[in-house]
Structure 1
Amino acid sequence: MKVGLSVTLAAVLSACVNYAGIHSDKQMAQPQQLDTTQSLPAEQGHWPAADWVDQFGDAQLEALIAEALQGSPTIEEARARVAEAQAYSQTAKAATLPRVDADYSLTRQEFSGTTVVPPPYRGGWATENKGLLSASYDLDLWGKNREALKAAVSQEQASVADEELVKLTLNTAIARTYNDLARLYALRDIAQQEVGRRELIDRITANRIATGLDTEVERKTAQANLTASQGNVAALDGSILTTRYQLAALLGKGPDRGLTIARPALGVGDEVRLPDNLPADLVSRRPDIVAARWRVDAITHEVKEAKAEFYPDINLSAAIGLDAFGFGQFLNAASRTMSAGPAIHLPIFDAGELRAKLRGRYAEFDYAVAAYNQTLVHALSDVATQLAQIRSSDVQLVDAVATQQSAKGADDLAITQYKAGLTTQLTVLNADVTALSAEQSVANLQMNRRDQQIALASALGGGYVDTSSDATRSADASVHANPVVAAH
């Protein structure tokens, strides 16, 4: 008898739909697989702290970032997505637990006079009272509901990492825009100094005309250069105002908020040195990498959930209640109704629906793995690029400062000689243009270097650490090393 049952069960299962031949060979890249030793050397540095902007010593910048985190619509959008993911996780958890429902219905109905309904209800009106307390529980023998819950939890963790990424992106944008504001103020100082030099040249030219050393040509040239310098100051004033408006928008405020932002007072910042074990630790310190990894984990569980749908689904249910015609008999013991038993669902022929769904899940798995690998490659390249630019700026600054000092000395000497009638205005203007260009180069390099330092702090994760994944990483190390094993 048992042999016959086993043979029958085997025959039924073999006739059912199956997922043979559907699989994936994609794997998540590991940091140690990517060559980084030369581009990202271990320098015994420190990872950025959560308050990494404090290194520049500007209290206003710290206050602006805190203000943005409180009221930015971008942050509110990210928080809403986290709340949505949390609600979905709670919904998935409910599917793994028993369910109890209570229902009551009151139905007034006229019954046919020619059906099996017995008298006295046949051909007349009657009121049916029905109350039912029911309970059901999906045995989840193949883990479909449990895998759905795990996938939902992983998606929730990805949303949390996404929120941290939004915060980091916003903080970085504010810091870099604020640094641009400092750049514009520095360039305006240089432009204003240039106005002063052009005014001095104009006065010297007037004196030389009075002594017959220059003509009105030189006077007109001096005046044209003066107005051009004044125009540069006005243009920079406009750019400063525009940048203030940009900062106000990043704060989630109206443009008037930007008018209250004072001139930046940014310092040089900390010494730039990369931390040790950078490639391996970066995967838990960059929120975009963490989010991508959680999405791979989520789709891995969704693949398992899709596979579980190929197997029998058994649901236990029971109900007890009262069912009576009229009101007088409703609470009698004779009106009691009870039911209990299992419900079994076994897919036999679905025209390929389940197989198509599983193929779709594997396609999503392949996409998630590719997205993770690309995110990891981009992150390592981002860190290496910012470090290379900082080192290049440091070298350029040494030469630029030396050039600036020489150009300033030549400019001062040219003005002195022009005032004494020993050289022409053209010589002075050429020396002045060279000095102006050298000062602008130094200012831009200093601001670029700080901008690159801000970008490097962001590329290193901006102080973020994924503590939620520590247990998962240790428990599922084999899955992350070869996620195909879990997905098959």
Structure 2
Amino acid sequence: MVAAIALALAGCAVGPDYVRPSMDVPASYKENGPWKQAEPKQIDSNHNWWQVYGDSTLDALVQQANQANQNIAQAEAQYREARAAADAARSGFWPTAGIDAGVGRSLSTSNGIRLGNNYSAGVQGSWEPDVWGSVRRAVEAGDASTQASIASLAAARLSIQATLTQDYLQLRITDLLIDLYARTTTAYARSLKLTQSQYAVGVALRSDVALAESQLKTAEAQAIDLQAQRSQLEHAIAILTGKAPSQFTLTALPADSQMLAKMQANLPPIPSGLPSDLLERRPDISTAERNVAVANANIGVAKAAYFPALTLSASGGFNASSLAQWFDTPSRVWSLGAALAETIFDGGLRRAHTAQAVAVYDAAVAQYKQTVLGGFQEVEDNLATLNVLDRETVAQSQAVKASQLAEQLALSQYRAGTATYLAVVTAQTLSLSNERTLVQLLGRQLIASVALIKAVGGGWDASQLNTADVAQAKNNSTAN
């Protein structure tokens, strides 16, 4: 036994030791443009990143989603499943032991007919030392799988938080558009009244009245369509927070002419960091990398099947024909044994299992590298988008001011009789279009800023993979 234990402790685990696949990581991002106005504190795991938008309603909604979203609950259950599987693999290090007791009555015809009872009780145990490292590789795979599940839970949580934040911000942009159309239809109604008054005194044409009425009804129809968009966004937010749409209502913001400027001011200047940071700060990349570690360990498990298995066993107890003699010294029985077993022919089964494990590893490496490249693309895309939208917003703001001035001048000239109502309609339509585009640009900036926060990991860090129990994972689900 001592010799076998020494052999097990000194044995080397077969199969390759894990090394993270190498990646050609660029030194900097291509699209890291001048849109960043400041370098605020780096988002980290202790920071609720959505708070940078300064909206208490959004904060409350994200907390509800952290606690009630079913996708997060599913990922948390999958983490517990992976941890239980890792514990099951770890049990292979230990011997198994059992007890038994029995009573029976039997008829024997050898040496005459004998009818009698038999009483037995005993303990038995067996142990298969991990000589070739099969259990160690299985435990390695189980631990890596558990860490992959932790990262998947973080990725699910980040995805829900980002989707909810984007839907909420888009809903608030829709509220701004609804307010814009409310103010616009009020102005169009005044213009209709003006044309009707001038038509009544004979200084305007009937076509001017029809044109003004058409313009008003078109704007009203567009405002109604915005309500449909808002309802859909509200329904999506309800589902993300774990509620049925009929049980959820999000009150519209009060009309405020400064709301656009306030939301513009809340655009966060997000530091994107270095490309190499992405390997540690994106949970989906960490999930892919841990899956590579799982596949690598499974190669060792497959290769260990080529070597003989050593099993040590022991048993002891009592066996007697009567209760009075059950535990007497003559009734004691025991046994010790060791068995060495090796498969000499399996029709290529072990070779096929090893080839399969190597193929799974190669596929996991390819998936990891593709995930890293996809992460780089997401960051570059959103950096480029924010850079372009920043310049576009400046130009669009100037266009809004110019169109508003043109609208005022056209109305003044129409009142004075020096311009047709067609010129007024053209100016008003251009003004509405420019204002709507400016609001939509803000929405695109907000959505892209959320996407960039998600693309750089939302403050998550791979050091959190060392979380030891599910309670910590649950705390992360609700706290972050």
TM interval, shorter chain, is 0.7 to 0.9
2:413 to 404, 407, 417: 417
Alignment of 1:13-32 (within 5 A): 28-32=21-25
Aligned-partner Cα distance in 2 for 1:344–1:253: 60
The answer as to whether partners of 2:272 and 2:456 remain within 8 angstroms in 1 is no
Aligned-partner Cα distance in 1 for 2:442–2:336: 78
- Change beyond 3 A, Cα 1:313–1:204: same
The answer as to whether partners of 1:31 and 1:279 remain within 8 angstroms in 2 is no
- Change beyond 3 A, Cα 1:319–1:199: same
The answer as to whether partners of 1:241 and 1:259 remain within 8 angstroms in 2 is no
Alignment of 1:140-159 (within 5 A): 140-159=130-149
Residue deviations 1:339-368, cap 9 Å, x none?
Answer: 111121112111111111111111110111
Once the two structures are TM-superposed, the CA of residue 294 in structure 1 deviates from its matched residue by 0.8
Residue deviations 1:431-483, cap 9 Å, x none?
Answer: 11100110011101111111111110010100101115689xxxxxxxxxxxx
2:48 matches 1:58: no
1:91 to 74, 84, 88: 88
Once the two structures are TM-superposed, the CA of residue 36 in structure 1 deviates from its matched residue by 4.4
Query: Which residue of 2 is the match for residue 48 of structure 1?
Result: 43
Percent identity between matched residues is 26
Give me the TM-score of the superposition, normalised by structure 2: 0.86
Alignment of 1:99-114 (within 5 A): 99-111=96-108, 113=109
The answer as to whether partners of 1:48 and 1:460 remain within 8 angstroms in 2 is no
2:379 matches 1:379: no
Aligned-partner Cα distance in 1 for 2:123–2:33: 68
Once the two structures are TM-superposed, the CA of residue 275 in structure 1 deviates from its matched residue by 4.5
2:250 matches 1:255: no
Query: Which residue of 1 is the match for residue 30 of structure 2?
Result: 38
Residue deviations 1:136-186, cap 9 Å, x none?
Answer: 221111110111011101100000000000000000000000011011111
2:122 to 112, 118, 132: 132
Query: Which residue of 2 is the match for residue 181 of structure 1?
Result: 171
Once the two structures are TM-superposed, the CA of residue 373 in structure 1 deviates from its matched residue by 0.3
2:199 matches 1:209: yes
2:234 matches 1:244: yes
In structure 2, runs of 5+ residues without a counterpart are: 1-13, 468-480
Aligned-partner Cα distance in 2 for 1:261–1:315: 69
Once the two structures are TM-superposed, the CA of residue 104 in structure 1 deviates from its matched residue by 2.4
The answer as to whether partners of 2:86 and 2:139 remain within 8 angstroms in 1 is yes
Residue deviations 1:378-405, cap 9 Å, x none?
Answer: 0011111100100000010010000010
Residue deviations 1:284-310, cap 9 Å, x none?
Answer: 110001111111111111111111111
In structure 1, runs of 5+ residues without a counterpart are: 1-18, 472-488
Once the two structures are TM-superposed, the CA of residue 46 in structure 1 deviates from its matched residue by 5.0
2:428 to 432, 435, 449: 432
Query: Which residue of 1 is the match for residue 288 of structure 2?
Result: 292
The more displaced of 155-164 and 189-198 is 189-198
Once the two structures are TM-superposed, the CA of residue 37 in structure 1 deviates from its matched residue by 4.7
Q: What's the RMSD between the two structures over aligned residues?
A: 2.6
2:395 to 393, 399, 410: 399
The answer as to whether partners of 1:244 and 1:261 remain within 8 angstroms in 2 is no
Residue type of the partner of 1:335? S
Task: Give the secondary-structure state (helix, strand or coil) at the position aligned to 1:28.
Answer: coil
The answer as to whether partners of 1:40 and 1:274 remain within 8 angstroms in 2 is no
Once the two structures are TM-superposed, the CA of residue 260 in structure 1 deviates from its matched residue by 4.0
Give the count of matched residue pairs: 442
2:77 matches 1:80: yes
Aligned-partner Cα distance in 1 for 2:401–2:32: 34
Once the two structures are TM-superposed, the CA of residue 235 in structure 1 deviates from its matched residue by 1.8
Aligned-partner Cα distance in 2 for 1:387–1:179: 19
Aligned-partner Cα distance in 1 for 2:466–2:82: 20
- Change beyond 3 A, Cα 1:284–1:156: same
The answer as to whether partners of 1:144 and 1:304 remain within 8 angstroms in 2 is yes
Residue type of the partner of 1:414? A
The answer as to whether partners of 2:137 and 2:301 remain within 8 angstroms in 1 is yes
